A and B are shown apart, each in its own frame.
Chain A
Amino acid sequence: QVQLVESGGGLVKPGGSLRLSCAGSGFNFNDYYMSWIRQAPGKGLEWVSHISRGGSSIHYTDSVKGRFTISRDNAKNSLYLQMNNLRAEDTAVYYCARGIGWDYFDNWGQGTLVTVSS
């Protein structure tokens, strides 16, 4: 069955960096668009970034442009999110999600918590 497992979350100071990873299994990873979606504590869902199957096309929400970089390694069935210059408002559970095209998300990981605090 489809599995998405995130890792790399933790506590980081404002201005710091963190790299999240997501390992996919149970499906042909390189056939799918992939996304990062986050959820601040007690809040709703916020789409963060989306990457095409080959990695050549990428979108970001405005609040992370220039700070976050999404990438993927299809040989390793893995998705990444490099997060730089982190802010308190980036504190959230970050979910990796499989995209159906650019559109909606049919499978989600369990998430990894990122806390930005001094």
Chain B
Amino acid sequence: EIVMTQSPATLSVSPGERATLSCRASQSVSSNLAWYQQKPGQAPRLLIYGASTRATGIPARFSGSGSGTEFTLTISSLQSEDFALYYCQHYYDWPRTFGQGTKVEIK
């Protein structure tokens, strides 16, 4: 099983600042990586797939990068609605696994 490790667990950022979230895979997953956003009491929402392709309707301030074992989700200028939990997920082999999440909170 591929283990996905996200860091940091919590990221404190001021509105308007940049947020950089990391996701590391225990072995290469090529570019088979997705990012999701989850707000309290809501279902996750797909942000990024293929490591760097934004899903439909996702604002350009969200960007993904990386390949192999190291991936980054960047939110260029945090808006109030971006404070949430973020998960990465690989789809390289079975089982599909998620990281434990990074909480982006208001500083």
Contact = CB atoms under 8 A, between A and B. Distances in A.
A85 interface: no
B44 A103 contact: no
Interface residues on B, range: 20 to 34
A95 B43 contact: yes
B45 interface: yes
Contacts of A106: 46, 49, 55-56
Interface string A103-115: 1111111110000
Interface stretch (A14-22, A41-49, A76-84): A41-49
Interface string B34-75: 101010001111100100000110000000000000000000
Interface string A1-29: 00000000000000000000000000000
A81 B34 CA distance: 24
Contact of A109 (B32, B43, B45, B101): B43
Interface residues of A, number: 20
A102 interface: yes
Nearest to B91: A103
Contact of A44 (B34, B94, B96, B101): B101
Interface of B: 32, 34, 36, 38, 42-46, 49, 55-56, 87, 89, 91, 94-101
Interface of A: 44-47, 50, 59, 61-62, 95, 100, 102-111
